[in-house]
Amino acid sequence: MLTRRAFAAAAAAAILPARAAGAAAKPSPFGRTPLVIAHRGASGERPEHTLMGYRLAIAEGCDVIEPDLVPTKDGHLVVRHEPEIGGTTDVAHRPEFAARKARKVIDGESVEGWFTEDFTLAELKTIRCRERLPQLRPGNTRYDGLEAIPTFQEVVDLAKAEGRRAGRTIGTYPEMKHPTYFAAIGLPLERRLHAALKANGLDQADAPVFVQCFEVGALKTFRGLCAAPLIQLMDAEGGPADLPGLTYAEMSTPAGLKAVAAYADGIGPNWKMILPTAADGTLAPATSLVRDAHAAGLKSHPWTVRAENVFLPPALRRGADPAAHGDVGAVYKALYAAGVDGLFSDFPGLAAAARP
């Protein structure tokens, strides 16, 4: 396990050959930047992680669609934000699966519900998706029950097919969810994902794909398997679940970013790490994080910009309804002005419209 001291020491060490300073940058397969990354699809307008949501995101102009990956009992990669699926499917209303309800500890947190690793793929395909935030996004509930949980392969196939239809490259941005937890129960993610990318011709450095994770060890393992671009996710608080002595705040310093550059191609920070909220509720000037990341040779893809008032700084809210849309355009424009290489949004159409 990498300690805080070891991680800091890595910042001063030589960068891996594939990340060597001065190495020629590969041209982007997408043709333009900053990238619009559809967070779980057009999840502000359709239930998240559904094929209909991904199709809408592409129609609205996104460059990349994001599937979060968790395994099934029989080892398939399926697309859910978390292994617990009670909040995003109708499994709780399926009497045939009532006995599957369980309580588990994931990354130190006790979670109760139904978990993908307790179902075969065939069983999961009988379950239907539903809106995760019905009180904030009631319009999305009209699509409840229409689709099954997609596999990662289905999302890759959709990206390729819709890209051909649109005449442009559509990338995928899979996230390895809780890799330490899944490795501990005999369902490690890294080799499964590598095999899927290789089978689809997405295992090269210039492939239209980014592999992301909040943990460090999984990305380092993946780097040894695959040349596909890797993104180290970061939050405004806490740290990697696999390195309890390290914080994301330390990783986002210039020294920490140099250490990240030894195994990854970019960072995915919480957007508030780039645009803090000032004391008066407005957006404060951008921090140096994007500049520091670029200085370390890293791309910056902040997450996740949402349009609803509840997710915006007070000064950008419009009215008192938490679900009403505020001035999200100000966030998009400020992030683009800060020099980000792409951003995640639940509303990819709005993000694309605001792009310079």
The answer to whether the CB of 7 falls within 8 A of the CB of 246 is: yes
- 165-to-58, 94, 101, 168 alpha-carbon distances in Å: 10, 37, 41, 8
Q: For the chain, first and last CA: distance in Å?
A: 43
The answer to whether the CB of 234 falls within 8 A of the CB of 251 is: yes
Three-class HEC string of 117-143: HHCCHHHHCCCEECCCCCCCCHHHHHH
64-74: burial string, b at 16+ Cβ within 10 Å, e else: bbbbbbbbbee
Q: Is 178 a known active-site residue?
A: no
> What distance in Å separates the CA atoms of residue 186 and residue 14, rounded to the nearest whole number?
34
DSSP classification of residue 25: P
Q: Judge if the upstream peptide bond of residue 285 is cis by omega within 30 degrees of 0.
A: no
- Pairing status of strand 109-113 against strand 102-106: antiparallel
> What distance in Å separates the CA atoms of residue 302 and residue 300, rounded to the nearest whole number?
6
Neighbours of 196 (CB within 10 A): 19
Which SS3 state, helix, strand or coil, does residue 171 take? strand
Q: Is 49 a known active-site residue?
A: no
Given the residues 49, 81, 178, 194, the one annotated as active site? 81
> What distance in Å separates the CA atoms of residue 87 and residue 135, rounded to the nearest whole number?
13
Given the residues 39, 49, 178, 301, the one annotated as active site? 39
Sign of the alpha-carbon torsion through 311, 312, 317, 318: negative
Residue 158 token pair: 């959709």
For residue 292, the cross-strand partners are none
Residues taking part in catalysis: 39, 81
